[in-house]
Structure 1
Amino acid sequence: MATIAGRKAETGKITVEPVRYDGHLVITDPAAFSDALVTGIGRAKAYGCGLLSLAPART
């Protein structure tokens, strides 16, 4: 994935390195999972990062 660069008024330059993870998820805290699914994760959400895409496990 490509590096994302931007500007933040208070601190100047921002650089975000998006990462993609593939694998199987085991949910141990349903409430926290639901919150993360709705609101996203991480500090780079304003740059289109932190979204969760889920699919059923392949059999």
Structure 2
Amino acid sequence: MTVKKLLVQIASNLFLKQVTAYACNQLTDSQVRKPRENEFAAFKKAAKEKYLFKDFEIQL
């Protein structure tokens, strides 16, 4: 077991509510970042499709 995993396990046992709240916050709050230069080429090649969900469209 790595040191990082061990520290997370110990923190989870000692501070269960705080660690759970932090993990939930990280999973639910999306972080938007700018695409990298090499990702633009992949976006241009990708097949684009629109999906209708309730009152708006999502581009896949």
Q: Decide which structure has the larger Cα Rg and report it.
A: 2
Higher relative contact order (CA 8 A, sep 6+): 1
TM superposition score normalised by structure 1: 0.28
> Which of the two has greater helix per residue?
2
